[in-house]
A and B are shown apart, each in its own frame.
Chain A
């Protein structure tokens, strides 16, 4: 199994508070992704990274920021959490064009 670890796995937070989710990989993959999964919407891309300090926006990036200071870590930050950001968040990594992407186990975030 690919070494991808998401932390925390579960979090409940209050509206307006900052939240940071962490994705750690041991595979040395170039690309890293953050998705959110909501019923009826599938997996929606928030941000992705194509190298250290190289990131780009996905389809639903408003309200989220990311950072990648090391190959192995990709952080997702909600600067001021809102109830609409309640979701399951998945991190994924990918190396080559003709190989599979690997997913972390997900983080369930509830904003109350």
Chain B
């Protein structure tokens, strides 16, 4: 079953912050985050393993709460280049090969 992402769409001005949430009904081993530009393949952002870690690079970070089976992606001081569709991918505990993605969150950053 696909993880559920929220919101479905976000419109921001440059410099504003955004949070994208990902929730699963299954116990998770790991969560992946990807960004896709129109007409291109998804590109990896980061992976979080169970253990409640938080990761980040540049102004994009993420957290993973394994007890709640939830992850959040934080985009701070957004830039025009952040526009695209963001996908979370989940790997269930006990089956480390089955990578399932959510329905995506479309982010539009305006000048």
A contacts, CB < 8 Å to B: 30-31, 33, 35, 40-45, 48, 50, 56, 58-59, 90, 92, 94, 97-106
Residue in B closest to A96 when the chains form the complex, CB atoms: B96
Contacts A90-B41, A98-B49, A104-B41 given; indicate if A42 touches B99 (C-beta within 8 A).
no
How many angstroms between the C-alpha atoms of A30 and B2 in the bound complex? 23
- Can you list, as one digit per residue, whether each of B83-111 has a CB less than 8 Å from chain A (1) or not (0)? 00001010100001111111110000000
Residue in A closest to B96 when the chains form the complex, CB atoms: A97
Question: Residue A50 contacts which of B42, B97, B100, B103 (CB distance < 8 angstroms)?
Answer: B97
Supplied contacts A48-B99, A59-B2, A59-B100, 19 more A-B pairs, CB within 8 Å: A31-B99, A42-B2, A42-B87, A42-B101, A43-B42, A43-B87, A45-B98, A92-B99, A94-B97, A94-B99, A97-B96, A100-B44, A101-B44, A101-B99, A103-B42, A103-B43, A104-B41, A105-B40, A105-B41
Residue in B closest to A94 when the chains form the complex, CB atoms: B99
Contact of B27 with A by CB under 8 A: no
- B2 near A44 with CB under 8 A, answer yes
Contact of B30 with A by CB under 8 A: yes
Contact of B81 with A by CB under 8 A: no
